[in-house]
Amino acid sequence: MLTKSSTELVRQQNSTLVLAALRRARNLSHTEISAATGLASATVSAITAELERAGVIAKAEQHVQGGRGRPRVLFTPRRDCGYVIVARISSDVVQYSLTDYGGTLLDRFEESRNHDQRGTAAFAQTFVDALERLLQRSRLTRDRVLAVSISSKGLVDADTGAARLLWSPVFGSEQLDFAALLAPGWRAKVMLNNETLLVAQALAAEAERAPEGGFRSLAAISLGHSIGLGVARKGRFGEIDVTAPNFGHMLHAPSAGLCRCGAYGCIEAAAGFYGILRAAFEVPPDTIPAKFVPIAEMDKIAASARQGHRMAGYAFRQAGLALGNGISRMLSLYERMPIHVTGPGTRYFDLLRGGLEEGVSQSLQLRLQGAPEISVVLDEQRLVFDGHLERALGVIDGDIAAAGQA
Q: What is the pLDDT along the chain (406 residues), one digit of tens a residue?
A: 444 467 888 888 889 889 888 887 778 888 888 988 889 999 999 999 999 888 898 888 776 665 565 777 888 888 889 999 999 998 889 999 999 998 999 999 999 876 566 678 889 999 999 999 999 999 999 999 999 999 999 999 866 567 899 998 888 889 999 999 998 899 999 999 999 999 999 999 999 888 776 789 999 999 999 999 999 999 877 788 999 999 999 999 888 899 999 999 999 999 999 999 999 999 998 898 887 899 999 999 999 999 999 999 999 999 999 999 999 999 988 889 999 999 999 999 999 999 999 999 888 777 788 889 999 999 999 999 999 999 999 999 988 888 865 5
pLDDT of residue 214: 72
Q: What is the pLDDT of residue 2?
A: 44
Whole-number pLDDT of residue 160: 58
Q: What burial letters (b/e) apply to 82-108, b meaning 16+ CB within 10 Å?
A: bbbbbbbbbbeebbbbbbbbbbeeeee
* Closest of 277, 295, 302, 298 to residue 287, by C-alpha: 277
Residue (of 168, 188, 204) closest to 86 by Cα position? 188
Give 238: exposed, middle or buried? Use CB within 10 Å, 0-12, 13-18, 19+: exposed
Distance CA 72, CA 75 (A): 10
In which residue ranges of the chain is CATH 1.10.10.10 found?
2-77
- For residue 323, what are the CA distances in angstroms to 184, 242, 253, 326, 327? 43, 20, 12, 5, 6
CATH domain 81-197+384-393 topology: Nucleotidyltransferase; domain 5 (3.30.420)
Numbered ranges of CATH 3.30.420.40 in the chain: 81-197+384-393, 203-382
Name the CATH superfamily housing domain 203-382: ATPase, nucleotide binding domain (3.30.420.40)
pLDDT of amino acid 66: 58
Class of 2-77 per CATH? mainly alpha
pLDDT, residue 1, reads: 40
pLDDT at residue number 188: 93
Cα–Cα dist 199/223, whole Å = 12
- Phi-psi map region of 168: left, alpha, beta (phi>0 left; psi -120 to 50 alpha): beta
Taking residue 114's Cβ as centre, other Cβ atoms within 10 Å add up to: 10
Q: Give the pLDDT of residue 116.
A: 61
Q: Read off the amino acid at residue 200.
A: A
